[in-house]
Chains A and B, each alone.
Chain A
């Protein structure tokens, strides 16, 4: 017959292992979130730099083709520049979406890991209780008087 204390010990080891695993997962999730945010921030900075540096060449391109220049306002150039700014905004929006998604993934992973830990611990305690109860009521296994 297994002694109840061994179950306590086993359950303690299992719980500690689960909590350790959970902590490791939390660290990994945090790192993943941080990396995702860092990557998004860099991408955003790259996009802004690319679009800012590319603005004057776009304006010059309209001028060479005869759409504006000097003090002349061209509807085509205006539309083209606004389009250029909208593209920048779209790219920035996608990158922000990526950042959100990365962050959400990490948070979801963290919550799921926590939920798994809680479920595991609950199951473990129920099993522990069942073992204790089985031992307690198993008077028959003791030496009959």
Chain B
């Protein structure tokens, strides 16, 4: 019994029709109506020996290798690529029939393809077909020829029957329909690739955006806390510094005031010359008065001397009193000047104290604020560094998502172009094999006048 073969028209495995060798005896030569080769019939399961290649089909052996039939993302779309009812069997000739037509059947489509897949048989999908166009049209042409031969034989019962114009036109139209399906498959695949790419992009972006937003919020929260703590610490330092200098100022001011009070209290009065005594002892009178009188003499001359001496001593005493008064006045002026100097020193000290306190406060405040600025700057730098890293990561994730989308878009474009290319090849082959049917003349409508 002949081996079961795939029939694309029916979508099932069937016993192939007579292709010229079924009834040929062993050792006889025959022409393979499918391949066009001249073969010698061998016995058993031994493959027949090819003695002459088919003139127009020798390139079939150089067809591109069969693409891997791995299931791709979105392969479920193959169900939508199935040929519609009424489509010619030639529409199932895909680029996957790149090996010799006798060993590689046309790619099944439609419900039969689903059945094969359920049975574990790897069947390329329409998307696979669209994405992997043949490197040349040899396999496609061979497949079309094979289909044409099968159809010619099935129609006449003999491989040598010349097809009629109507048959050629039908075959041509069938190929054109297949080309349209191939083109549409590419366009559909592109649309689905675009959708898949957009969905993948949206999913990636929608996943990444809240994650990075959360990271950014966490970083900002952390550094906001750091900033707050830093400001609190430096505010506390400033307050403590202010309190320290306020206390220092109050204590120093009190010390200055006490010093002034003590100075004034301890400043002695100028009493030295105010209370100075002036020596003015009374004159001593000579005691010869009685004796002088006894001899007729008097003490008048002695009295004159005493009077002059007393006047002299009085003058000296007055001068001394005057000198003491002047010295006392000078002393008092001197003490007053010292008092003024002390009071001035007190005032100057209060002013110097205020200046010193203000200067020290300003210096320490500046130092504290400088340290605060340094810390805040470091915090800000660290924050910007981490935010920058997050933004870079987010940008990278966005770029990855965009690259993924672009890859799907690229695949869609490839699918579209592959479909177009395959369709164009199918059309060209149909035109070459069956010729372009002449256009039917349009029926002219006659209007009776």
Contacts and interface: CB of A to CB of B under 8 A. Distances in A.
A129 B262 contact: yes
A119 interface: yes
Contacts of B363: 144
Interface string B350-370: 001100110110011000000
Interface stretch (B88-96, B191-199, B208-216, B282-290): B282-290
B299 A118 contact: no
B263 A85 contact: no
Interface of A: 4, 44, 48, 51-52, 55, 59, 68, 73, 77-79, 81-86, 88-90, 92-97, 99-104, 107-108, 110-115, 117-119, 121-123, 125-126, 128-130, 132-140, 142, 144-145
A131 B206 CA distance: 78
B306 A122 contact: no
B326 to A, nearest CB: 12
B403 interface: no
A140 B271 CA distance: 41
Contacts of A52: 287-288, 291
A90 B305 contact: yes
B390 interface: no
A76 B277 CA distance: 46
Which of A92, A107, A123, A144 has the most chain B CB within a 10 Å cutoff?
A: A92
Interface in B256-298: 256, 258-260, 262-263, 266-273, 275-289, 291-292, 295-298
Contacts of A103: 279, 281
A92 B313 CA distance: 13
A136 B252 contact: yes
Interface string B121-154: 0000000000000000000000000000000000
A92 B342 CA distance: 53
B65 to A, nearest CB: 86
Contact of A68 (B295, B305, B356): B295
B253 to A, nearest CB: 8
Contact of B306 (A79, A93, A112): A93
A139 B252 CA distance: 8
Contacts of B259: 128-129, 132-133, 136
Contacts of B304: 86
A139 B356 contact: yes
Nearest to A138: B356
Contact of A118 (B241, B271, B288, B359): B271
Given A52-B288, A92-B306, 10 more contacts: A51-B288, A84-B288, A100-B279, A103-B281, A114-B271, A115-B331, A122-B338, A125-B262, A126-B345, A129-B259
